[in-house]
Amino acid sequence: MRISITDRCNLRCRYCMPENISLMPMENILRYEEILEVCEQAVRLGIRKYKITGGEPLVRLGCIDLIRRLKALEGVEQVTLTTNGLLLSDYLEPLREYGIDGINISLDTLDPVKYKAITGFDKLEPVMAALKRAVDLGIKIKINAVLQKGINEEDWEDLLELAREMPVDVRFIELMPIGMGRGMDTVSNLLLLDRIQEIYPDLIRDPVIHGNGPAVYYRIPGFSGSLGLISALHGKFCSSCNRIRLTSTGDLKPCLCYQESIPLRQVLREGKKEEIRDLLIRAVKRKPLMHHFEDEHAVTEQKKMAQIGG
Ligand code: SAM
Ligand code: SF4
């Protein structure tokens, strides 16, 4: 289950969050106790792996403590975090102490000028510092990069080189036509793989399972980390999708592509535990056969990615 704990963010990535986004009133955002209650019920149904996301999860005070409490919840097997990395340095020690199972850092370029053009802020340095420190601390790190045509489509080479020296997985995620991503040109991972193979002809499929998700992994001889491709558009992985999303306002989302969501906040606030479980089951059963990101008109989700929780 991917849990978004906030719709706020300290960056404005051009494909994710507009400058003037209207934010949810705080009373509509689930409190940490409420999130933990959902998880308690979800664990009883067998949902044992959680990812904390947002918006930017680390801008919400107490995020680290939520992770500590979630890790301590009986039956929880894995807790990971997805972050833009800006505030991460300050929290790495406690995260390691609480036993975080992995951190995904979103990073689309190593060029400070392009970083500012993509995210709106001149903040590459603290992200790189956090990445290096996290690796030194032995935390399992995945780098998530979205390539945009004409913006950073050439940057895969520098990003992939990070995996040569550092034991990090560098993953390229196809841009999905959701929110600000609508109408933007994605870089096909099929073409990207061809280009990578031209430079690294010895690349092989990685037989090791790296996570629970849709990424396909490759090894490059001499590299410490792996290459991952998440091909939302050109490699439909719906038949094996086991994701369920909880938005910061307490809506369950069966699939990113469609606007269907199952509101949980009210029953949660009324303390109806059995109904919470029923709604979780309903959300899983409502997972559609497949997404249709290849046809923008079929994408009914109108929210921005930062509002859903990417
Ligand atoms: N703020 C955190 C971060 O950036 O990692 C967590 C939330 S962010 C919405 C999660 C991931 O969604 C990021 O890696 C971001 O690049 C990705 N993302 C946002 N909009 C997207 C889109 N339209 N298509 C593909 N990935 C997208
Ligand atoms: Fe913020 Fe993450 Fe969206 Fe960038 S991708 S605007 S960091 S929520």
Ligand 1 centroid to residue 310 C-alpha, Å? 5
Tell me which H or E stretch contains 68.
helix 63-72
Rounded to the nearest angstrom, the distance between the alpha carbon of 261 and the centre of ligand 1 is 19
Pocket test for ligand 1, best of 88, 173, 175 (most atoms within 8 A of CB): 173
Residues 6+ apart with CB under 8 A from 194: none
Closest CA to 168 of 79, 90, 100, 106: 106
Cα-to-centroid distance, 10 and ligand 2 (Å): 8
Distances 128 to 26, 115, 125, 188 between C-alpha atoms, Å = 31, 12, 5, 26
Question: Ligand 2: which atom is nearest the Cα of residue 54?
Answer: 8
Atom index in ligand 1 nearest the CA of residue 180 equals 23
Q: What is the pLDDT along the chain (310 residues), one digit of tens a residue?
A: 999 999 999 999 999 998 888 889 999 999 999 999 999 999 999 999 999 999 999 999 999 999 999 999 999 999 999 999 999 999 999 999 999 999 999 999 999 999 999 999 999 999 999 999 999 999 999 999 999 999 999 999 999 999 999 999 999 999 998 888 888 888 999 999 999 999 999 999 987 777 667 889 999 999 999 999 998 888 778 888 899 999 999 999 988 888 889 999 999 999 999 999 999 999 999 988 888 877 778 888 777 777 777 7
Cα 305 to middle of ligand 1, angstroms: 7
Domain 2-308 has CATH 3.40.50.1400: no
Task: Round to whole Å and give the CA distance between 250 and 4.
Answer: 9
